[in-house]
Chain A
C-alpha cells in the first residue's frame, strides 16, 4: 500500500476556514488525552481551560491583555512568513524592545522630566522599543542578505543573547538601588506607564495599539504595492524578481517590520503590564506568536482571532494549575500540539491523501 499527497487543484473557501478550526478541535482532543494520562478528568480540564475564563469579566480582560503581545508579534511575523522569510527570533526582539523602552523609563525616573513635562515619555518609550526591536532584527537580516546565512539559526540564537543581556542589566546597572538587591528595576512612575483604558480596569493602551496594527497590516496586504510584493515573493520568488521587486530590500523590510512590532510588543508589556524591568519579561510570547501566525493563516484578521485563542490557553493554564494541580508545562505542551495540528491541517488544505494499493499482477 502506498500513500501519496496529491496537490488539490481547487481549494474551497470552506476548507480554508474549516482547517484551522479542525486543527483546534484535534488539538483539544489530544490535549484531553494527555490530561487523562496525567490522571485528571479531561472534561473538567476542558471546562477550566476553555469555558470558565470566558465567563468572567476580569478574565476576559486578562485574555485581551495577554493577546496584545501575541497579536502584535504575530502580525509582524505574518509579513516575514508570507514572504518565505523565517524570523524565529521575535522573542529576542521583544526582549530588546522592552529593555530599550524600559531603560528610558528608568533614565527619566525621579524628576528628569519635570522641567518639560512628562507627556513625551511614553511615546518616546514606544518609539525606542520599536526601533531597537527593528535594529536587533537587522542582525539576522543583514547576515542573510550579505552572506547568505540562514536566518532561522541566527534569529533563534540571538534570542538567548537578548535574554542574557536583559538578565545581566537587571542584575547590574538597571537594578533598583533601593530594591534590597532584588534583581529588578525601579517601578516605573505613572508618566512612564501605558494608560489604562478605564479606571481600575486591566485593559491598557497596548490593546488599542495591537488592534491598530491589525487594521494597518490588513490594509497593506489588501491594497499596497508593498503587501503585494511580500505576497508575490512568498508565492513565486522568480515572478517577484520579474515584477521588479528587489528580494534583498524586501528581506530587510519584513525583518524590520516584524522586529519593530515585536519590540513594540515588548515595551507595551513592560510599560503596560509589568511596570518595571525583571530578569524575565516574557513567558515565551515570541515563540507562541509563531503558532498564532499560522493558526491565523498569516492573515492579520485571522491572527487577531488566533491571538485571543492562544491567550485563552495561557489564562486557562494558570487556572488549571490552581484548580486541578496540572503542571504549567501542560500549557506549553498544548501549544506545541496545537502547532503540529495547524501545520498538518495546512498540509491537508493544499494536498489530498490518495491511498493506492499496489495490486499484484
Chain B
C-alpha cells in the first residue's frame, strides 16, 4: 500500500489515469432501471459530489462501487486496472471505504470495541486504542475509545464510522448523506475532517441533496436524475437554484405564503408535560410546554433522538400517562384520551415512519384511509366499515394531492416514498383537522413532493388550523413556520419568531448549549 504522499507525487507526474473510472454502469431491479449507463471519473485528492433527488440512483451507484451490488453492464477501472468487486471486503482491500448514512453500531459496546469488530480479526483491542487516538488527533475526530456507544450523539457515532473507515487507509472514501443527522456545528467539524482527507490526496465521493454542502466541499459534481447522468459541473460556479433545477429537471417553485389571516384561539396546549421513557435507550420528556393557536405553524427543530418521537407519541395518544390536563385539544382536556378519541376531538397525526406506522404497506390505499379515519363519521356503522366510502376518499386524496397511483386498490407499498407521503398527508388534511401534528413530513421525499407537502401545511394553517411541525430540516422549518422552538434531551426551548431568529442560533440550541445554560441558573 502506498502512502498518500507517494500517491500525490505519482499523481503530479502523471495526471491520467483517474483513480476511479466508471463506464456505462447499468443496474436493473426487475423492470426498474436504477442506473442507466452512468459514467464517472474521480481523481485522487478530488472531492466529487454526487447529487440528485431521492430515487435518482445515487445509493445504487455507490453500492456498486463499494461491492455491495454487481452491475448488470459497464466497467469499473481503479487506477486504470479493470476490476470486478464481488463484496465490500474486496472493495476495502483495494482501498475503497464507505461511511453509511445509517450507522451499524452496537449500542452496548464501547467505541473501541465497535471499531475492532469491523477490522480484520488479527487486530487486538489493546493495540487498537493508541491507533484510534492517533487517528483522532490527526483528523480532528474527537473520540473517547472507552465510551459506550449508547451515550454518544449522532455526530460522535458518525465519527466512529469514519474512524473505522480511515483505519483501513482508503484511497477513496464514499460518504452517503453524512450530514443528515448532524447539527450545523457538527457538520462544520465534519467538513474540517474531510478537508484534511482531501489534502492528503484521498478522493472523496460525497452524496448529498444538500446543495450548499456540495458547493462548500466539492470541485466537481455529477448530477443524476431518474437513474441517468444528466450532467456534471463545477458546483462552486453554480447557484443552489441552478443545481436544484438540474436535479429536479424543472424550476423549483417557492412556497407561497397563505393570505394574511387572523390568529385564532388556542387549539393545542401542552402544559408542563413530563413523561419517563419506556425504552432504555429512549428519551424522557421533561417539562414540555407549548401553546399553538389556530392559523399558526409552530416548528420543533432538533437532532433526531432528542425526544421528538416520544413527544409525538404523547401528543397522539399512542403513549398515555401524561395526565388529563397536561394536553388540551381545542380547549378540552385530552391527556387521558386515546388516539381515536383525540381524532374525534379534531386532531390529526402524521408520524415520521410511513411504512408500518402511518400506513400498512400490504394494504390498499382505501384500507389505509380506514386506518386513521375508521372512527370518523360515515366510515363505520355498527362495527361494519364502509369500504365504499374509504375508496371514494382515497380517490379524492389521489386527485387533490396529485398522487401517482393506479387507484384506491393499489397496495401502499407500490407507491414511491414521495407519493405515499403525499397520500398520507392528504388523508389527514382532507379530514379537516383543527390540529395537525406532523413528524418529518418530507423525510426521504423528492423535492417536488416535499414542496407540495409544505404548501399543503401552509394552506391548512391558512384555513385556521393549528399545525405542529417536527422536523430536522432547518430549511423546511424556516420556509413554513411562524415560530420555531428546539428540542434537546427531552426539553423544549421557548419558541422564537421565525423571522427574528437565524439558523445559527437554532443550530446552537440544537446542541443543547443554551438550554443547559438556562437550566443551570
Cβ contact within 8 Å between B383 and A224:
yes
Task: Give the CA-CA distance A359 to B71 in the complex, in Å.
Answer: 13
User: Given A10-B414, A225-B380, are A239 and B358 also a contact pair (CB < 8 Å)?
Assistant: yes
Q: Which residues of B contact A235 (CB under 8 A)?
A: 360-363
User: Given A228-B374, A361-B86, are A236 and B361 also a contact pair (CB < 8 Å)?
Assistant: yes
Task: Give the CA-CA distance A238 to B380 in the complex, in Å.
Answer: 22
Q: Which residues of B contact A9 (CB under 8 A)?
A: 30
Stretch at the interface among A189-197, A204-212, A241-249, A303-311: A241-249
Interface residues of A in 221-239 (CB under 8 A from B): 223-226, 228, 231-232, 235-236, 238-239
Q: Which residues of A contact B316 (CB under 8 A)?
A: 242
Cβ contact within 8 Å between B384 and A224:
yes
Task: Give the CA-CA distance A238 to B357 in the complex, in Å.
Answer: 5
User: Given A10-B414, A224-B384, A235-B362, are A361 and B85 also a contact pair (CB < 8 Å)?
Assistant: yes
Instruction: Write the B377-395 contact mask toward A (1 if CB under 8 angstroms, else 0).
Output: 0001001110100000000
Interface: B372 (CB within 8 A): yes
Cβ contact within 8 Å between A361 and B84:
yes
Task: Give the CA-CA distance A304 to B384 in the complex, in Å.
Answer: 24
Q: How many residues of A contact B (CB 8 A)?
A: 23
Q: Could you say which of A9, A10, A236, A246 has the most chain B C-beta atoms within 10 Å of its C-beta?
A: A236
Cβ contact within 8 Å between B360 and A232:
yes
Interface: B92 (CB within 8 A): no
CB distance from A139 to the nearest CB of B (A): 27
Q: Could you say which of B30, B349, B367, B371 has the most chain A C-beta atoms within 10 Å of its C-beta?
A: B371
Cβ contact within 8 Å between B363 and A225:
no
Task: Give the CA-CA distance A226 to B383 in the complex, in Å.
Answer: 7
Interface: A181 (CB within 8 A): no
CB distance from A61 to the nearest CB of B (A): 36
Cβ contact within 8 Å between A238 and B338:
no
Cβ contact within 8 Å between A224 and B385:
yes
Interface residues of B in 13-69 (CB under 8 A from A): 30
Give the size category of B's interface with A.
35 or more
Interface: A358 (CB within 8 A): yes
Instruction: Write the B381-425 contact mask toward A (1 if CB under 8 angstroms, else 0).
Output: 001110100000000000000000000000000100000000000
Interface: B460 (CB within 8 A): no
Cβ contact within 8 Å between A228 and B338:
no
Interface: B351 (CB within 8 A): yes
Q: Which residues of B contact A239 (CB under 8 A)?
A: 356-360, 371
Interface: B467 (CB within 8 A): no
Cβ contact within 8 Å between A361 and B90:
yes
Cβ contact within 8 Å between B349 and A242:
yes
State which of A224, A226, A232 has its C-beta within 8 Å of the C-beta of B371. Answer: A232
Q: Which residues of A contact B338 (CB under 8 A)?
A: 244, 246
Interface: B340 (CB within 8 A): yes
Interface residues of B in 63-113 (CB under 8 A from A): 70, 83-87, 90
CB distance from B349 to the nearest CB of A (A): 7
Task: Give the CA-CA distance A109 to B85 in the complex, in Å.
Answer: 81
Task: Give the CA-CA distance A160 to B380 in the complex, in Å.
Answer: 43
Q: Residue of B at shortest CB range from A237?
A: B356
State which of A224, A244, A356, A361 has its C-beta within 8 Å of the C-beta of B339. Answer: A244
Instruction: Write the B212-253 contact mask toward A (1 if CB under 8 angstroms, else 0).
Output: 000000000000000000000000000000000000000000
CB distance from B433 to the nearest CB of A (A): 15
Interface: B318 (CB within 8 A): yes
Q: Which residues of A contact B363 (CB under 8 A)?
A: 231-232, 235-236
Cβ contact within 8 Å between A236 and B85:
no
Q: Which residues of A contact B384 (CB under 8 A)?
A: 223-225
State which of B86, B339, B375, B387 has its C-beta within 8 Å of the C-beta of A223. Answer: B387
Q: Residue of A at shortest CB range from B355?
A: A236
Cβ contact within 8 Å between B387 and A359:
no
Interface: B343 (CB within 8 A): yes
Q: Residue of B at shortest CB range from A244?
A: B340
Q: Residue of B at shortest CB range from A358?
A: B86
User: Given A225-B380, A225-B383, A232-B371, are A244 and B360 also a contact pair (CB < 8 Å)?
Assistant: no
Q: Interface residues, chain A, CB within 8 Å of chain B? A: 9-10, 223-226, 228, 231-232, 235-236, 238-239, 241-244, 246, 356, 358-361
What are 30 contact pairs spanning A and B, CB under 8 A? Answer: A9-B30, A224-B383, A224-B385, A225-B374, A228-B370, A228-B374, A235-B363, A236-B356, A236-B357, A236-B359, A236-B362, A238-B353, A239-B356, A239-B358, A242-B339, A242-B349, A242-B358, A242-B371, A242-B372, A243-B339, A243-B372, A244-B340, A244-B374, A244-B375, A246-B338, A358-B86, A361-B83, A361-B85, A361-B86, A361-B90
Ranked 3 nearest A-B pairs via Cβ? A244-B340, A236-B360, A244-B339
Q: A223-B385, A239-B371, A360-B86 are in contact. List 12 more A-B contacts (CB 8 A).
A: A225-B383, A232-B363, A235-B360, A236-B355, A236-B357, A239-B356, A239-B359, A242-B349, A244-B339, A358-B86, A361-B84, A361-B85
